[in-house]
């Protein structure tokens, strides 16, 4: 008998995390080998376990799923990663797959299809529901990097509350870089980046990274 598939769950919602664990454990050939509440815990867990697949949420505190995927890919190019989220927006879908995920499913998917998606991903199939593929096609057609850079440049040429020193940070924020990645890119400390982001959030009237990105993107010229 082959060894059971080892699945790791990275999800900050305790109720959903427990539900996923129960569903996966109910499969005769699957086990949950690790759980994490954010990207930092996921990276720490991966130092001691070797899953056959990682179920990765997108919106999480401390380190989100996209930043975690990028870090995993620096260490392991082959580990299957299946994005699991309710955040059904084109850019998160597009960016997650570009960062190296092997597929994308929504949390609204029924459990039978979830299990099927896990099996397909482990078997090296690319999992992408039709409605998600349609969103990627739309995003690719209207939000390529050149156009986004031009839109940001036009935004900075209009009346806005940001200083010249904050502009590079905003550009990196829109690229979904983590605080560490921003710090490395701008040759700043993570503490400095965190403080600058707090000022940017305050100017935008938001409390967190996701709301800041959404607010900025809604403000960019079309």
Do 134 and 32 lie in one domain? The reply is yes
CATH number at residue 115: 3.40.50.2300
Q: Is the pLDDT of residue 1 over 50?
A: no
Do 107 and 213 lie in one domain? The reply is no
Q: Is the pLDDT of residue 139 over 70?
A: no
Angle at alpha carbon of residue 140, lines to 135 and 145, rounded to 5°? 135
Do 19 and 43 lie in one domain? The reply is yes
Do 93 and 154 lie in one domain? The reply is no
Do 68 and 161 lie in one domain? The reply is no
Average pLDDT over residues 137-151: 64
Q: What is the DSSP string of 80-111?
A: -EEEEES---HHHHHHHHHTT-SEEEETTS-H
- Domain ends where: 116, 140, 164? 140
Q: Characterize the bridge pairing of strands 5-10 and 30-36.
A: parallel
Domain residues for the domain of 188 are: 144-219
Q: How confident is the model at residue 145 (pLDDT cuts 50, 70, 90)?
A: low
Do 108 and 184 lie in one domain? The reply is no
The percent of residues above 90 in pLDDT, for the chain, comes to 60
Q: Domain tally for the chain?
A: 2
Do 127 and 150 lie in one domain? The reply is no
Residue 117 CB burial class (10 angstroms; 0-12, 13-18, ≥19): buried
- Domain ends where: 71, 106, 140? 140
Structure-model confidence comparison of residues 15 and 157, the more confident one:
15
- Domain ends where: 115, 140, 165? 140
Q: Is the pLDDT of residue 171 over 50?
A: yes
For the chain, what's the residue count? 222
Chain centroid to Cα 76, Å, comes to 17
CATH number at residue 194: 1.10.10.10
Do 109 and 78 lie in one domain? The reply is yes
The predicted structure's pLDDT at residue 160: 80
What does the alpha-carbon distance between residue 183 and residue 50 come to, in Å, rounded to a whole number? Answer: 30
Do 78 and 62 lie in one domain? The reply is yes
Question: What's the whole-model pTM score?
Answer: 0.66
The percent of residues above 70 in pLDDT, for the chain, comes to 90
> Using one digit for the tens of pLDDT, what is the confidence trace for 40-49?
999 999 999 9
Do 15 and 121 lie in one domain? The reply is yes
Structure-model confidence comparison of residues 38 and 87, the more confident one:
38
What does the alpha-carbon distance between residue 43 and residue 194 come to, in Å, rounded to a whole number? Answer: 21
Collapsing DSSP states into helix, strand and coil, what is residue 152? helix
Do 13 and 105 lie in one domain? The reply is yes
Do 99 and 153 lie in one domain? The reply is no
């Amino acid at each position: 008998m082959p060894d059971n598939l080892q699945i790791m769950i990275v999800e900050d919602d305790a109720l959903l995390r427990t539900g996923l664990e129960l569903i996966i454990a109910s499969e005769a050939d699957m086990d949950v080998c690790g759980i994490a509440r954010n990207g930092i815990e996921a990276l720490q867990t991966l130092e001691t376990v070797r899953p056959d697949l990682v179920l990765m949420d997108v919106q999480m505190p401390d380190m989100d799923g996209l930043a975690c995927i990028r870090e995993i890919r620096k260490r392991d190019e082959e580990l299957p990663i299946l994005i699991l989220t309710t955040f059904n927006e084109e850019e998160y879908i597009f960016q997650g797959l570009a960062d190296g995920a092997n597929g994308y499913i929504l949390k609204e998917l029924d459990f039978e299809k979830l299990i099927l998606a896990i099996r397909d991903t482990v078997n090296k199939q690319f999992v992408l529901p039709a409605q998600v593929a349609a969103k990627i096609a739309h995003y690719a057609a209207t939000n390529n990097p050149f156009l986004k850079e031009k839109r940001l440049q036009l935004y900075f040429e209009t009346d806005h509350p940001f200083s010249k020193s904050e502009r590079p940070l905003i550009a990196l924020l829109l690229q979904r870089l983590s605080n560490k990645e921003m710090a490395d890119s701008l040759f700043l400390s993570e503490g400095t980046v965190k403080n600058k982001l707090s000022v940017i959030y305050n100017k935008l009237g938001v409390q967190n990274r996701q709301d800041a990105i959404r607010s900025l993107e809604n403000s960019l010229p079309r």
